[in-house]
Every structure is written in C-alpha cells, then in structure tokens.
C-alpha cells in the first residue's frame, strides 16, 4: 500500500511515535538517554518547535509537539539523523537505528490535548520502567516529572500544559496529577495512537452506532479528531476525503454505482466488461470509474477488474477532460 503524504503546516499539533528498527533498542544507558533528550531540547529551541509531552522508553519514544516554522519533517529528520549518527559511533555499529518512517498524527487540540498529554506521560508506567505513579513523578526521561516540578528544563512547554488544569501552579499541578492517576486503569488506549474513524469517534462501539444510522463519516489514519476536524484538515491539505465502510457496505455501494450508471446509458453490465468503445459504453465507464475512485477510494486495478479493461486504460479514462467526456 503506498505511503500517504505527511500532513503538516507550522503550528500543527502532532503526536509522534518513533521506534527502533525491528523493535531494537534506541538507548542502551543513561548517557544515550541524556544525548537523546539534550538533542531534542536544543533542536526544539532552535526550530521553535513546542514540546508539550514526551517519554523515552527502551526501544521507542512518544512526543506531543507543535511544529515550528521549518515543519515537522525537517525537525524529525535533523533530530533522528543526528541522534542515530552519535549512537552508532558510540556503540560501534552501522545501519539504520530507527524505523524508516516515524508515525505522526495530526491532533484536534480542543478535544484531545489533555488526553494525549496523559497518554504520552503514562508510557513509562505502561512499559514497566517505573512501578507506580510516585516513581513516575521522579522519572527523568519523560515530561511528567517536569510538570511535577521534580526535573527542570527550559524547552518543555510546562506552563502552557499546566494552564489546561488550573490558573494557579499548585492547584493545576494537583489537578494534573489526579487526572494522570485516573488514566492508569484505562490501559493502552489504542484509539489514541492512530487516526481515522475508530479514533475520531471514540472507539468501535461509537462507529458501529453511527453506521447503523447510515451516517457518512470521514476518517484518516493521519488524523486524530472528530469527523469535522478530519474533513477540515484534509481539505486544507488538499488531500482526498474517503468515507470508510465495512466490506459488505462497500460491495453494496459498488453494485449500486454499477447499476445506476448502466441504467443511465441503457446498457447492461456485461456490455461494460466486453471492452467495447461504443460512445455510450465509454461514457458509462468514465462515470463509473470516477465515482468508484472519488466516492469509495477504489484502486485503479480493482476498477479495471470490475470493468473488464486494463489498469492503464482506467488511468487514461480518468485523465480525460470534461470536454472529451461529453463527446
């Protein structure tokens, strides 16, 4: 499956997940951890990237950040490359350290900011690097200890995060810690580590309820937010909007499109698959191909199989101008 383009613009809130290649370690000891954190902080200040939450484990790390003027890809490339080079030199190794493509999710700040701060900061506890919340309060390789006032740095947006929990620092810190404690029993929260319909609507139960009402719902694996937020992000990025369906719903909708367009041209479905270039049939193929790709996100290869022609023929059909279509 082809990779989708990054969604980013300066000021975009991202949840970034980076992992060691083949689930291998990205840090071996505290010297590596300090190198990781120092590089992260220095580059954040240099690029005006705002770090709200972060946690460093043994073979992966999480970041909640707002991209600066250079953009997320530039920030991540410089950070990961610089760290990998120094790690490899120190440990006398060669080759990739990180998976080639880190995972980044554009996040709806109004809906998910607090939850993501909590999710990111609870990672060391979920990974059993600390045994309880008190140990997490003092864990130096995550942003939670900074919010708790146990560790100090000048690049984490501590005050802004605490402002989500109260106006005065003491009360905000207590409210934040209580909120984190309430999240421990929630476990891994898979709905927060990806985008799309399941994440956007709060889990499978909510999605299934929406589907029963036959409501059209938008989602994208690169976005964490409500359907409206997903649509806005994709619209602003110029990316395609695809409505997600169950396999059964998708098959039914394909059948409906084939039937509707065949009836418009007063031709049979089998005629469409015979390869004829007769005007009415060519026009029906064009309408069907456009609707299948635009409305359902069907691949060109699958469209070709449905219409009994080659993939290159479908590609050419879709490139036809409106004037040619009406001939």
Q: Which helix (H) or strand (E) holds 92?
A: none
The pLDDT assigned to 311 comes to 77
DSSP H helical ranges for the chain = 30-47, 72-91, 109-121, 123-126, 133-138, 144-147, 158-162, 169-183, 197-200, 204-212, 227-237, 247-264, 269-272, 279-296, 300-307, 311-318, 322-325
List the one residue out of 223, 239, 236, 237 whose CA is nearest residue 104: 223
DSSP 64: E
218-231 burial string, b = 16+ CB within 10 Å, else e?
bbbebbbbbbebbb
| CATH classification (class only), 13-186 | alpha beta
Task: State residue 239 phi and psi, 5-degree precision.
Answer: -85, 165
The 3-class SS string of 269-284 reads HHHHCCCCCCHHHHHH
Residue 190: what pLDDT?
Answer: 61
pTM beyond 0.75? no
In which residue ranges of the chain is pLDDT below 50?
A: 1-6, 195-220, 226-227, 230, 234, 236-244, 321-327
3-class SS of residue 65:
strand
Rounded CA gap, 23 and 25, in Å? 7
For the chain, first and last CA: distance in Å? 35
Q: What is the pLDDT of residue 213?
A: 41
Which sequence spans correspond to the domains of the chain? 13-186, 194-237, 247-325
pLDDT in tens, 212-253: 444 444 444 555 554 455 455 545 444 444 444 556 767 888
């Amino acid at each position: 499956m082809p990779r989708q383009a990054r969604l980013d613009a300066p000021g975009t809130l991202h949840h970034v997940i980076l992992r060691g290649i083949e689930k291998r370690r990205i840090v071996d000891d505290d010297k590596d951890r300090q190198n990781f954190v120092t590089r992260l902080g220095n580059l954040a200040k240099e690029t005006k990237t705002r770090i709200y939450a972060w946690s460093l484990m043994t073979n992966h790390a999480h970041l909640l950040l707002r991209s600066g003027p250079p953009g997320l890809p530039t920030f991540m490339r410089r950070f990961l490359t610089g760290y990998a080079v120094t790690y490899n030199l120190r440990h006398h190794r060669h080759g990739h350290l990180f998976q080639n493509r880190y995972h980044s999710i554009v996040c709806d700040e109004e809906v998910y900011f607090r939850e993501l701060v909590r999710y990111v900061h609870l990672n060391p506890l979920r990974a059993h690097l600390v045994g309880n919340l008190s140990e997490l309060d003092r864990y130096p390789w995550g942003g939670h200890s900074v919010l708790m006032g146990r560790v100090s740095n000048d690049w984490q947006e501590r005050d802004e995060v605490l402002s989500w929990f109260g106006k005065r620092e003491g009360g905000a810190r207590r409210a934040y810690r209580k909120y984190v404690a309430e999240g421990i029993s929630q476990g891994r929260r898979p709905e927060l580590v990806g985008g799309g319909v399941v994440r956007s609507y709060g889990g499978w139960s909510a999605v299934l309820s929406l589907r029963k009402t036959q409501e059209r719902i938008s989602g994208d694996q690169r976005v964490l937010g409500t359907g409206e937020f997903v649509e806005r992000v994709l619209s602003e990025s110029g990316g395609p909007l695809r409505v997600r369906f169950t396999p059964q719903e998708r098959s039914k909708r394909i059948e409906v499109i084939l039937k509707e367009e065949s009836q418009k041209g007063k031709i049979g479905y089998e005629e469409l698959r015979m390869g004829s270039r007769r005007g009415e049939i060519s026009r029906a193929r064009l309408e069907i191909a456009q609707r299948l790709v635009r409305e359902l996100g069907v691949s060109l290869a699958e469209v070709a199989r449905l219409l009994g022609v080659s993939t290159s023929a479908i590609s050419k059909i879709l490139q036809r101008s409106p004037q040619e279509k009406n001939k």
